Chains A and B, each alone.
Chain A
Amino acid sequence: MKNKTALLFLIIALSALLLGVFFGLFASLQYIIPDFLKELVPFNKMRPFHVTTVISWIVLCATGSIYFFITKEEGFKLFSYRLFKTHFILFVLTGIGIYVSFLTGKMEGREYLAYTPILTIPIVIGWILFGINYFKTLSKNIKNWPVYYWMWGTGIVFMIYHLCEAHFWMIPSFRSHFIKDISVQWKSYGSFVGSWNMLVYGIAIYLMSKIKKDSTLAYGKTVFFFYFLGLTNLMFGWAHHTYIIPTQPWIRYVAYAISMTEWVVLAHIIYSWIKTLSNEDKKKYCMVYKFLRAADFWVFLNIILALLFSIPVINFFTHGTHITVAHSMGTTIGINTTILLAAVFFIVQKSLPNYKIDTLFIKRSYKAFNVSLFFFFCALLVAGVKKSNWMYFTKEVHFSEMQDSLYYVYIAFFVFGLSLVFSIISLATVLLKALLKAVK
């Protein structure tokens, strides 16, 4: 099996998931015990560990899955296996570099990309190598691309651009104008998420067409409409993050006009697919199907929230509150992680057809995952509503008093977070074991 590097990407990704949720849990403890290890690992040091590690999970798992699909599942001869290995080694070494940067306190970067900015260079080089390998391989092998190939290609190209854009603050003319600086910073973050969504949603459509053994699913007009709508959102739909910043009103008008429409179409595609899937397919790819169905549920839940706060007057009250966190947790865990776990289950099934997985244990963990995430999500919504009420409808109440009033909500947030972590550990360790067996 030539593409063991793809499996190594997935092993590193699952390890990042385990590490990332642990960091998150540890950091969340400080909401209920503020003095807990404050001097040793304060929240401002712990949060970058959590954020960077979970972003790595999404990006590495998507990358490994795409490499696997094009080489193993589609059987295309990769343009260069040397580039593939170089990409992997570069990402692993950069990952180590990022942790060294965090441990030594060299964090001159910004939110989400807190590590020392020089480390962005090897990350960008890694994406360029991925892009070269991807486009060269596909252009040689296939003429009429299904939608997921377009989505992955777009994701790679925009990932490179927005990673660079996220560092425009290093240019003095950006850094010295605060409003422009903060707007471009959040523009890049919004589109950065849009770029990885292209990779992850492309994986969802790929899995659906493979399970159903129906390639027309990836060539239809609806999916291409969805793709172009998603691309438009990636390019111009970022400004709902910054409605409240005094930028030019036209930037906010553009975002208002196009924001959040893409999910309607994605939900439609998954829903139609589930409706038309045969029971035999559902049984054969039981876990893949279950996780994609869960993703559908989370798409619907987040769509309501997202549609609501893409309306500026509602955004006005939800912005800066935990409602935004509920949305980002709902999308990164509920949508991205469930799709990626479905992809890893599919890959395990393809790599080790006779490998026996404890289905009952997985089903229980799956249930625990969704139930915990639902209550975790609700706890954040309650905290968000209470904070918004404090911001706009109370007077003379200090921030610390508001935080103290949220104590029991934070306990619920921590308890459901803990349960979520246990369910993720259960799922990830089963998959890790299988992947380790596959690479032996």
Chain B
Amino acid sequence: MKTRTTKYNVLVILLLLMTFIIYNISVYTGNPYKQPVKLSETALQGQLLWQKNNCWSCHQIYGLGGYLGPDLTNIYSNPNKGAGYIKAFLNSGVKSMPKFDFSESQKEAVVSYLKHIDSTGFYPNFEAKFKPNGWVELKYKDEK
């Protein structure tokens, strides 16, 4: 026989679980914001190279990842950097960054992945607006 408290606890957990299921479905099936652009085959290969070589150990994307290297969210569209700069760094290495012996197609794949990431938003989001209630309104990539 379950006690009254146990039954009450089970009820609360069930309610929370039901909310959790609805919440998860919304997160998994909803569009992130506006219409997302799908990663191309080349970009997906770049994503795999990013994972296999643990690029996240040192680099960040949207401020998430390691701290030894710089954030790469908008490196592709940076007027002083871009595709050529990324490719040069991949096979030359620098300070604590090892040299990666990537083929030209692999370098293209990594650049394509970073190009796609760049198209999704800004980081740091310099044009974000601060609200008096502590909220931050982000500037989206395709906003005028």
A48–B2 contact, CB under 8 A? no
Tell me if A97 is interfacial: C-beta within 8 Å of chain B: no
The CA-CA distance from A356 to B121 in the complex, in Å, is: 60
* Nearest-CB residue, chain A, relative to B130: A313
**Residue numbers in B under 8 Å from A320 (CB-CB):** 60, 62-64, 71, 123-124
**Residue numbers in B under 8 Å from A15 (CB-CB):** none
Tally inter-chain residue pairs, CB-CB below 8 A.
169
| Most central of B39, B94, B116, B140 by chain A CB within 10 Å | B39
A182–B38 contact, CB under 8 A? no
A177–B55 contact, CB under 8 A? no
A110–B9 contact, CB under 8 A? no
The CA-CA distance from A241 to B60 in the complex, in Å, is: 13
B51–A244 contact, CB under 8 A? no
B116–A178 contact, CB under 8 A? yes
Among candidates B32, B68, B128, residue contacting A247 with C-beta atoms closer than 8 Å: B32
A44–B57 contact, CB under 8 A? yes
Query: Residue-by-residue, is A216-234 near B (CB-CB < 8 Å gives 1, otherwise 0)?
Result: 0001000010001001100
Tell me if A246 is interfacial: C-beta within 8 Å of chain B: yes
Among candidates A43, A247, A256, A400, residue contacting B58 with C-beta atoms closer than 8 Å: A43
Among candidates A42, A150, A247, residue contacting B33 with C-beta atoms closer than 8 Å: A247
A228–B12 contact, CB under 8 A? yes
The CA-CA distance from A319 to B71 in the complex, in Å, is: 12
B32–A177 contact, CB under 8 A? yes
A312–B96 contact, CB under 8 A? no
* Nearest-CB residue, chain A, relative to B139: A246
A184–B96 contact, CB under 8 A? no
* Nearest-CB residue, chain B, relative to A238: B27
| Most central of A176, A183, A187, A387 by chain B CB within 10 Å | A176
B39–A107 contact, CB under 8 A? no
B27–A246 contact, CB under 8 A? no
**Residue numbers in A under 8 Å from B62 (CB-CB):** 182, 242, 244-245, 320
Tell me if B16 is interfacial: C-beta within 8 Å of chain A: yes
Tell me if B92 is interfacial: C-beta within 8 Å of chain A: no
Q: Which label, helix, strand, loop or mixed, suits the secondary structure of the B interface?
A: loop
CB distance from A100 to the nearest CB of B (A): 16
The CA-CA distance from A35 to B98 in the complex, in Å, is: 9
Count, chain A residues at interface, CB 8 A: 70
A246–B98 contact, CB under 8 A? no
Tell me if B82 is interfacial: C-beta within 8 Å of chain A: no
A399–B123 contact, CB under 8 A? no
B52–A108 contact, CB under 8 A? yes
* Nearest-CB residue, chain A, relative to B135: A312
Tell me if B125 is interfacial: C-beta within 8 Å of chain A: yes
Give residues of chain A (241-260) contacting chain B, Cβ–Cβ below 8 Å.
241-248, 251, 254, 256
Give residues of chain A (382-424) contacting chain B, Cβ–Cβ below 8 Å.
387, 391-392, 399-400
The CA-CA distance from A143 to B126 in the complex, in Å, is: 56
CB distance from A7 to the nearest CB of B (A): 31
**Residue numbers in B under 8 Å from A228 (CB-CB):** 12, 16
A312–B47 contact, CB under 8 A? no
A35–B36 contact, CB under 8 A? no
A38–B96 contact, CB under 8 A? yes
| Most central of B38, B54, B55, B130 by chain A CB within 10 Å | B54
Tell me if A4 is interfacial: C-beta within 8 Å of chain B: no
Tell me if A354 is interfacial: C-beta within 8 Å of chain B: no
Query: What are 13 A-B pairs at a CB distance below 8 A?
Result: A34-B95, A34-B96, A39-B98, A48-B57, A110-B51, A175-B44, A176-B39, A176-B44, A180-B32, A248-B32, A248-B33, A320-B63, A392-B126
